[in-house]
Amino acid sequence: MTRLIKAEFRRAFARGITKGVLLLALLFAGFTIFAMHQQVSNMPTQAEVQQTFRFAHDDWAKNHQRYEKDCLASTPESERNNAPTDFCDFPEPKLSDFVGQNGTLGGVLKQGTSGLLMVAALAALVLGASLVCAEFTSGSMMTWLTFEPQRIPVYASKVLVATLMGLLPVLVLVAIAGPGFWLAGSSGELEFAAGEQSTYLATLGRLFGVGMFCSLIGTALGFVLRHTTAVLGFAAVWLIAVELIGGNSIADARRWTIGTALSAFVDHGKEWETYPPCYSGGADCRPVIHWLGFWPATSYLLVVAVVGFLIGLATFRRRDVG
């Protein structure tokens, strides 16, 4: 088994797709650092935020009662009866309303890591699938089985190596974009809030888990479909039909999508909102808060990984390689 693993690593590092994926990861990391710098440069300064807040608060103090009366007068009674009780309330402005979640360096960096998550997942998926599919399309898989006829050790070694190779694009992204985001964000007036530094570092660390998971799934799909283009086509259909359409149109379906689970894993929990039908049957327009915790998401991803591994193994054992 050790001999197989060493040979697989040599073959994986020699593949052109490995170098290509790492180069694309490097280019994307540089692009995201530039985008982060531009975003921070265009953000309002603390003085501008304070000035906007004072203007809004002064306007509220002088006019909020008149605004509420005008709202009640212009809203039909039938709508007011079915609307929330605070339909025409104008709450006092707070400074946090103008700062938002991006008012700290940690909030801005969280946006950047969300972009890294998508790229890390795609790069690892493509790399894992390509390493296996290249063996089938070139015919080297048949030659490989001539020297090692036992398919289970061959499958296990290829999945293990491809899964570990999924760490490489993540390593490039984290090594370049991780400190790059920090420096770009620090170029403005933003600062870390309490605990945000450790949260940011932990988030970057969990991206390696995403790389291993997606590379394993890509490898399993490679054994099933045997062509990289077929794997990418399947991934695209899954993304559109399940992650986007199904997750947004079917009640509670978003909780069970892989994208939501990956976000919950990386961010140590995922929160999102849905809205009920407004003013029907007495329902109001207040959003319904949903939450997926870290451990449920991790457990779900582990189950998906095991199922994918077993499907790939069953396919490889039963199908003719030629």
pLDDT higher than 60, residue 284: no
Tokens found for residue 63: 């006019």
Q: What digits encode the pLDDT tens for the residues 231-266?
A: 999 999 999 999 999 888 887 888 999 999 999 999
For strands 288-292 and 270-274, give the pairing: antiparallel
* pLDDT bracket for residue 278 (50, 70, 90): low
- pLDDT of the residue at 312: 94
- Its pTM stands at 0.81
* Phi, psi dihedrals of residue 248, rounded to the nearest 5°: -100, -15
pLDDT higher than 50, residue 70: yes
Q: What digits encode the pLDDT tens for the residues 159-192?
A: 999 999 999 999 999 999 988 888 887 776 677 7
Mean pLDDT of 134-159: 82
Residue type (1 letter), 98: F
Separation CA 264–CA 272 (nearest Å): 11
* pLDDT bracket for residue 285 (50, 70, 90): low
Nearest to 313 by CA among 222, 231, 232: 222
Q: What digits encode the pLDDT tens for the residues 290-304?
A: 899 999 999 999 999
* pLDDT bracket for residue 61 (50, 70, 90): confident
DSSP state of 257: S
* pLDDT bracket for residue 143 (50, 70, 90): confident
- pLDDT of the residue at 283: 47
* pLDDT bracket for residue 27 (50, 70, 90): very high
Four-residue CA torsion sign, 167, 120, 222, 268: positive
| Nearby residues of 115 by Cβ (< 8 Å), 6 or more positions away | 32
Separation CA 245–CA 94 (nearest Å): 36
Cβ contact 292:273 at 8 Å: no
* pLDDT bracket for residue 279 (50, 70, 90): very low
Q: Which of 12-16, 101-105, 279-283, 311-315 has the highest mean pLDDT?
A: 311-315
